[in-house]
């Protein structure tokens, strides 16, 4: 029997040393685990790793694409304390030219098994800030230079 729970995963966002220093040791942001405001994490490569072209003669060619660019999408409650930190990060990156940060998704157990590592990541934009009769969710999208799955 398989068992699944979102609280078994932690997403860590680590700024470059230069950015952390500029933001007064901003530190690593960790989202997930029991009691967190996390609703969803999605890690996607932009392109297919393999493509196949067929010919009318019955032959085919497999083409390997080495691109590992992609996106990480994080959906969390608008009440999450991380929302304000993401807004600060976004504004800081917009005003300066810092190296992107590293995003790591790992299990939240004693093994802390790494599932994915994403390097040179930037927040694409501040999502819509909606205020309604009840709290909603926000999806933050990060563009990544290289995504690897473990």
CATH number at residue 80: 2.30.110
Is residue 91 situated within a structural domain?
yes
Q: Length of the chain, please?
A: 150
What was the pLDDT predicted at 144? 98
Tens place of pLDDT per residue across the chain (150 aa): 777 889 899 999 998 777 666 666 677 889 998 889 999 999 999 999 999 999 999 999 999 999 999 999 999 999 999 999 899 888 888 888 888 889 999 999 888 999 999 999 999 999 999 999 999 999 999 999 999 999
Any residues with CB less than 8 A from the CB of 133 and at least 6 apart, and which? Answer: none
pLDDT 10s digits, 28-39: 889 998 889 999
Question: What's the CA angle centered on 82, arms 81 and 85, to 5 degrees?
Answer: 105
What was the pLDDT predicted at 16? 77
What was the pLDDT predicted at 25? 61
Q: Is this model's pTM higher than 0.75 or not?
A: yes
Listed in sequence order, the DSSP H helices in the chain are 17-22, 81-95
Kindly tell me the sign of the dihedral angle through the C-alpha atoms of 70, 8, 139, 129: negative
Is residue 17 situated within a structural domain?
yes
- Whether 12 contacts 72, CB under 8 Å: no
What was the pLDDT predicted at 49? 96
Q: Rounded to an integer, what distance in angstroms lies between the CA atom of residue 129 and that of residue 82?
A: 14
Number of domains the chain is built from: 1
Is residue 53 situated within a structural domain?
no
Contacts of residues 95-98 at CB distance under 8 Å and 24 or more positions apart, as own/partner, are 96/22, 98/15, 98/16, 98/18, 98/19, 98/22
What was the pLDDT predicted at 66? 97
Is residue 57 situated within a structural domain?
no
Domain that holds residue 23: 7-46+62-149
What was the pLDDT predicted at 90? 86
């Amino acid at each position: 029997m398989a068992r699944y729970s979102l609280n078994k995963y932690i997403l860590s966002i680590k700024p470059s040393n230069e950015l952390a220093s500029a933001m007064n040791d901003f530190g690593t942001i960790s989202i997930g685990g029991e009691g967190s405001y996390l609703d969803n994490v999605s890690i996607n490569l932009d392109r297919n790793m393999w493509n196949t072209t067929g010919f009318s003669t019955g032959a085919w060619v497999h083409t390997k694409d080495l691109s590992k660019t992609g996106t990480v999408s994080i959906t969390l409650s608008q009440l999450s304390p991380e929302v304000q930190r993401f807004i600060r990060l976004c504004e800081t990156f917009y005003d300066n030219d810092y190296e992107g940060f590293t995003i790591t998704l790992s299990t939240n157990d004693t093994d802390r098994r790494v599932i994915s590592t994403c390097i040179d990541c930037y927040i694409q934009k501040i999502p819509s800030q909606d205020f309604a009769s009840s709290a909603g969710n926000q999806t933050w999208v990060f563009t990544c230079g290289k995504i690897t799955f473990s």
